[in-house]
Chains A and B, each alone.
Chain A
C-alpha cells in the first residue's frame, strides 16, 4: 500500500469510528439501537466473510455459532450472581469455539455445495437440540436475563446505559475488524486465499489444507460467537429463532449484497439490508421480505461483486 493510500485509509477509518462513536449522543433512542444492531450483525457477517470471501467456503450454518455465543452468554449471566460481563464473554466464546471445532472437524472434509449443506444441517441440529431441550434453554420461549455491569475489578464499574453499550459494541467490532484485517493480510490469510484460488495447488506446494480450513472455520465461528454475546447483551434474551438457518441465510445475503472478501463489505451489506428492511416494513408492514427478496435476487444476478465492488468499479469508471 502506498504511503498516500495508507494515510487515506487510516484517516477514513478514524472518521468512520468517530462518527459512529458520536452517534448515540445525537441520535434518538430508536436509531441508536438500530445502529448498535447493525454493528452486531455486521460483525457476524464479517466473521462469515473469512470463509466465504477469503477461503471460498460458503457457510450456511453461521446461526449455530451466533446462537451458541448467545446461549453461552445467557448461561453465564443466569448462572452467576451478580451477572458478570467477562464470564458471559468467556462462556459465549468458549461454547461458540467448541461448536465451531466440532462442525469444522466434519464439514471441512467437504467442498462447495456439500460444505454449504453440511454447515446448514449442523446448524439445524443445534436448532433442534436447543428448541427441544426445554429444561435448559427455555425451548421456544428462550431465556431472559439482565445486563451485567461493565466493570473491571478495582478499576471501574459502569452501568450499561444505551450509550455505554453502544461504545462497548463499537469498540469490540472495530477491534475485531482490525484483528481480522491483520489476519487476512498475514501469511495465514494468504494461504486461505490461495486455497480459495486453487485448493489442489495449495496442497501440492505442501500446505496442510484441511488444517488451515479447520482453523478458518473456528476463527470464523469464534467471531460469530462474539457477535452472539453482543446481541445477548443488547437485547437481554436468547431465543432459538436466532439459531434457525434463516439467520445463516441472511448472513450470506449481507455478504453477497455488500461484497465478499472485503470485511467492510459485509458490514455495508448488513446496514443496507437492515435499513431497507426498516424502510420497507413501514410501507409493506410484515411483508417487507417480498421486495427485499427481489432486490437480493437482482443483486445476485447483476452485481456479482456486491454493492462495494459495484461502487468501486463505478468510481473507477
Chain B
C-alpha cells in the first residue's frame, strides 16, 4: 500500500505530540519505580483527576495556565497523601503488593471521579487557538504548544534532578536508599516528595491533553497501560529511556494507524513491549548492562 508523504508527515507530528505527553506521564511513573520499586497502577487516575481539577479551576478562574498550575499542585498533594497512607506501610514487602495497593487506589479514584463528575465528558478550552495549514489540514497551534510545554516541563525535571541539593538527594536515594539515609538524607521525606512530583507531572499532562479529547473518568486507563509499556521498553527507572521509548512507541502507533484503526494500532506497542521483554528485558533505550 502506498502512503502519501503528506499523511506520513502529519502522523509524524501527531506521534511526537502524543509522545511528549506520554513521556511526561511515563517519566513520573519511572521516577517513582526507580526510587521506590513501586509500580503505580493509579498513575492514570492521577492523570485523569489532574484534568478534572483543571476543568474546575478553568471554570472558576477562566485562565488555563492557573488551571495547569493548580491541578499540578493539588494532585501532587493528593499523591503525597496516597503515598503516606497506602504505600509507606508496604515498604519492605514484595514490590508486587504495591501493584495491588495502587490497583485498589485506582478503583477508588476512578469511581470517585465518576461519582463527583458524572459520566458526561467535560471540555477544557484550548488556551491557544488558531491553526496553520499543513497540506489539506488545518493543524492547531495548540498541539505544537503541548509538545513545547512538555519539553519544558521534562527539561525542568531534568535540571531539578541534575543540579541542586534535592536532585542529589533523590538520585542518591535511588542508588542506595540505606546509605543515603546514613548520610543524613531524610529518605522518608524524599520518597514522599518524589511520589508527589510524579503525581504532579501526571496531573499536568492530564490538563495539557484535556483539550484534545475531553475529560472523563475512564481516560486514565489507556494512559497507564501505555505508560507501563513505555517504562518497561525504556528500561525501568531510566527517565531518558522512558522519554525515548514514549516518542518511539507513539510514532509507531501513529504510523500503524495509517493502515489499521487506532484501536488496533495499540497492538503495535504491545508487540514492541513483548519483543523487548524477550530479547532485552533491561530496556531498549538504556546501555547494555555489564
Contact = CB atoms under 8 A, between A and B. Distances in A.
- Tell me, yes or no, whether A and B come into direct contact in the complex with CB atoms closer than 8 A: yes
Contacts of A124: 225, 266, 270
B8 interface: no
B218 to A, nearest CB: 11
B108 interface: yes
A290 B108 contact: yes
Interface in B64-104: 86, 89-90, 93, 95-97, 99-101, 103-104
A293 B113 CA distance: 14
B226 to A, nearest CB: 10
Interface stretch (A26-34, A128-136, A182-190): A128-136
A109 interface: yes
Nearest to B232: A117
A294 interface: yes
Interface in B190-209: none
A114 B281 contact: yes
B104 A300 contact: yes
Contacts of A249: 103
A131 B260 CA distance: 14
Contacts of B106: 293
Contacts of A118: 273-274, 277
A125 B112 CA distance: 28
Interface string B128-161: 0000000000000000000000000000000000
A272 to B, nearest CB: 15
Given A290-B115, A293-B111, A301-B86, A132 B270 contact: no
B261 interface: yes
Interface residues of A, number: 37
Nearest to A109: B278
Contacts of A106: 274, 277-278
Contacts of A294: 104, 108
Nearest to B264: A132
B1 interface: no
B183 interface: no
B105 A287 contact: no
A113 B277 CA distance: 12
A292 B104 CA distance: 8
Interface in A79-133: 106, 109-110, 112-114, 116-118, 120-122, 124-125, 128-129, 131-132
Main secondary structure of the interface of B (DSSP, over half): helix
Contacts, number: 105
B109 to A, nearest CB: 8
A297 B277 contact: no
B93 A304 contact: yes
Contacts of B264: 128, 132
Contacts of B97: 300, 304
B134 to A, nearest CB: 29
A113 B95 contact: yes
Interface in A235-275: 245, 249, 252-253, 256
A297 B105 contact: yes
A44 interface: no
Given A114-B277, A289-B108, A132 B261 contact: yes
A300 B270 contact: no
Contacts of B266: 124, 128
A139 to B, nearest CB: 10
A121 B107 contact: no
Given A114-B277, A116-B96, A293 B108 contact: yes
Contact of B270 (A60, A114, A125): A125
A58 interface: yes
A295 to B, nearest CB: 9
Nearest to B96: A58
Contacts of A129: 267
B111 A287 contact: yes
Nearest to B108: A293
Nearest to A297: B104
Given A113-B96, A118-B274, A301-B90, A290 B263 contact: no
A108 B190 CA distance: 35
Given A116-B96, A287-B114, A293-B106, 17 more contacts: A58-B99, A106-B278, A112-B95, A112-B96, A113-B96, A113-B99, A114-B277, A118-B273, A118-B274, A124-B225, A125-B270, A128-B267, A253-B103, A286-B114, A287-B112, A289-B111, A297-B104
17 contacts: A58-B99, A106-B278, A117-B273, A118-B274, A121-B229, A121-B270, A122-B274, A253-B103, A256-B100, A286-B114, A287-B112, A290-B108, A290-B115, A293-B106, A296-B100, A296-B107, A301-B101
Q: Which 7 A-B pairs have the closest CB atoms?
A: A293-B108, A293-B107, A297-B104, A289-B111, A296-B104, A287-B115, A293-B104
